[in-house]
């Protein structure tokens, strides 16, 4: 009985101390090294669903990692991946544009970089590799939509203030990947005609999709640093707290519905 009591006390102590744990990861694609950041809450019995987080055009920075932490607090294993290599980050929009353009110059190469992170997350013993989603911001939003269109093994993708124009072929009919798009209606980088074309693409494919267009919201509306970047570089960016909070709330419901399907 004394041993059992001690074991129970130990379990209670572990439970009380359970929290999000993070890991710095390195993985390779060809001869290049990439940096990853994994966040998972050890209070949740595994395996848990996984979510990839694709950064803005600034690169693999603290903002992407913060979102990974927030996903871990919800019970997911979240991997903030690296699309540029070596964890590179841009300090100026011109440099960010160069990094983004170079990463997408070869779509097969871009897909290989994404899929390497996908395999890393799905292969973790704490993760249910059959239940994986991806979310992306700005540049990353365009990346996750491309991966859905290219047939990546993802249950769902969500884009926040990302480009909606296909990088290659549109979403094929019969795609099983659920899609969510959270867009700023005042974002000059996503004009109305792009929004209309996206709706037509989704309808033509018979997609299971959600499109939320926030009135008055600018590009980068989820990132509190958007206002500072707008002032410093004269960019049409802006943080919108209401749109940020609502899109995160809707993402939670979207992920729960998308990643619970295989449990039924």
pLDDT in tens, 41-65: 988 777 999 999 999 999 999 999 9
Q: Is residue 221 part of a domain?
A: yes
Q: Is residue 3 part of a domain?
A: no
Q: Is residue 12 part of a domain?
A: no
Q: Is residue 10 part of a domain?
A: no
CATH number at residue 142: 3.40.50.1820
Question: Which residue do the tokens 């059992």 mark?
Answer: 4
Q: CA torsion sign, 188 to 193 to 199 to 202? A: negative
Q: How far apart are CA 261 and CA 155, in angstroms?
A: 9
Residue-level pLDDT at 3: 29
> pLDDT for 85-139, tens place per residue?
999 999 999 999 999 999 999 999 999 999 999 999 999 999 999 999 999 999 9
From 142, 146, 139, select the one nearest 177 (Cα to Cα): 146
Residue-level pLDDT at 18: 55
Name the pTM for this structure.
Answer: 0.92
Residue 5 has pLDDT above 50, yes or no: no
Instruction: Kindly state the average pLDDT of the residues 210-225.
Output: 98
Residue 244 has pLDDT above 90, yes or no: yes
101 lies in which domain range? 18-263
CA terminus-to-terminus distance, the chain: 39
Residue-level pLDDT at 4: 32
Q: Is 230 helix (H, G, I), strand (E, B) or coil?
A: helix
Q: Is residue 27 part of a domain?
A: yes
Residue 26 has pLDDT above 50, yes or no: yes
Please return the burial class of 245, using the count of CB atoms within 10 Å of its CB with bins 0-12, 13-18 and 19+: exposed
The confidence band for 72, taking pLDDT boundaries of 50, 70 and 90, is: very high
Residue-level pLDDT at 260: 86
Q: Is residue 97 part of a domain?
A: yes
Number of domains the chain contains: 1
Q: Is residue 66 part of a domain?
A: yes
Q: Is residue 259 part of a domain?
A: yes
Residue-level pLDDT at 263: 42
């Amino acid at each position: 009985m004394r041993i059992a009591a001690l074991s129970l006390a130990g379990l209670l102590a572990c439970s009380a101390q359970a929290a999000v744990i993070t890991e710095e990861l390195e993985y390779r694609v060809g001869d290049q090294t990439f940096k990853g950041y994994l966040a998972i809450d050890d209070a949740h019995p595994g395996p848990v669903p996984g979510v990839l987080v694709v950064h803005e055009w600034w690169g693999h920075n603290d903002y992407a990692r913060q979102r990974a932490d927030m996903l871990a607090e919800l019970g997911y294993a979240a991997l903030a991946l690296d699309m540029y290599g070596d964890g590179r980050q841009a300090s100026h929009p011109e440099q960010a544009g160069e990094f983004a353009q170079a990463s997408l110059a070869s779509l097969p190469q871009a897909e290989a970089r994404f899929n390497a992170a996908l395999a890393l997350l799905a292969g973790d013993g704490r993760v249910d590799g059959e239940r994986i989603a991806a979310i992306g911001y700005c540049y990353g939003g365009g990346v996750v939509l491309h991966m859905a269109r290219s047939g990546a093994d993802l249950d769902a993708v969500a884009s926040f203030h990302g480009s909606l124009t296909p990088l290659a072929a549109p979403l094929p009919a019969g795609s099983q990947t659920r899609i969510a798009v959270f867009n700023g209606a005042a974002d000059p980088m996503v004009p109305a005609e792009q929004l209309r074309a996206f709706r037509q693409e989704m309808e033509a494919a018979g997609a299971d999709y959600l499109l939320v267009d926030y009135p008055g919201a600018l590009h980068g509306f989820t990132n509190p640093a958007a206002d500072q970047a707008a002032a410093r570089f004269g960019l049409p960016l802006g943080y919108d707290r209401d749109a940020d909070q609502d899109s995160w709330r809707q993402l939670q419901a979207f992920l729960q519905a998308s990643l619970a399907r295989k449990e039924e």
